[in-house]
Amino acid sequence: MSAPEEQVRTTFEQYDKDGNGKIDLIEFRELVHELGSDRSPADVEADFNAIDKDAGGLLEFEEFARWWNLRSAFDNHDEGRTGTIGLRGFQALVQALGGSRGPAALAADFNALATGERVAFDDFARWWSVRSHFDKFDRDGDAMINLGEFHLLVNELGHTGNPTEIAETFEQLDADGRGALGFDAFLRWWSTH
């Protein structure tokens, strides 16, 4: 469930202290601080950059709203208000967000992400972003990214590279030689790009 647009707009304007219609890093730090996050300054900056999709150094309302709605959905499944969710909350949250993965696949992802059987929002947000891309480019829906799908993805990201280079990268990532990348290998590659 996402927060009503009006409410998101009010929050946005409240933290847009200088009223320029965008949230900059300083304004974002203040917001995160007031939410009670104990993220380090470097982590908050990394979060900011992840939300700032066009890498312009400012959060436009749409960028902010996407993040805020994800955060609200997360909080809705954080019943004890601990800032983390358990497996059941995780499964329900992904379903509410329109994710199409089955309970067993989600349980595997959850176990990879969780610390002490709980997942924090920031880890969830990173996972959700990568997972969404993985699912989008897994055109044949076999839960793996094959070379053709990898080509589409690299092009979409705006990387220039000739087909041979892309194929070489793919081969390096495909350590077990299956001819396709599972989510783990994909996640490793993604985090370096």
Residue 14 in contact with Ca ion, rule: CB under 5 A: no
From CA 69, how far away is CA 193, in angstroms rounded? 25
Q: Which is closer to Ca ion, CB of 61 or CB of 128?
A: 61
Which of 162, 149, 142, 141 shows the shortest CA–CA distance to 189?
149
- CA-to-CA separations, 67 to 13, 41, 126, in angstroms, rounded: 15, 18, 11
Decide the pairing of beta strands 119-120 and 145-146: unpaired
115: CB partners within 8 A, 6+ apart: none
Which residue stretch of 35-43, 82-90, 105-113, 133-141 sits at the interface with Ca ion (rule: CB under 5 A)?
A: 133-141
Residue 122 within binding range of Ca ion, rule CB under 5 A? no
As beta bridge partners, residue 67 has none
138 binds Ca ion (CB under 5 A): yes
Instruction: State the nearest-atom distance from the C-beta of 18 to Ca ion, in Å.
Output: 5
Q: What is the CA radius of gyration of the chain?
A: 18
Is residue 13 a contact residue for Ca ion (CB under 5 A)?
Answer: no
Q: Determine which residue in the list 1, 5, 10, 18 makes contact with Ca ion, applying CB under 5 A.
A: 18
Q: Binding to Ca ion (CB under 5 A): which residues in 38-57?
A: 52, 54, 56
Give the number of residues in contact with Ca ion, rule: CB under 5 A: 12
Q: Min. distance of Cβ 149 from Ca ion in angstroms? A: 5
The C-alpha angle with vertex 139 and arms to 137 and 142, in degrees rounded to 5, equals 105
Region 59-98 residues binding Ca ion, contact defined as CB under 5 A: 60
The answer to whether residue 16 forms part of the interface with Ca ion (CB under 5 A) is: yes
Which residues in this chain contact Ca ion in the complex, by CB under 5 A? Answer: 16, 18, 20, 22, 52, 54, 56, 60, 138, 140, 142, 144
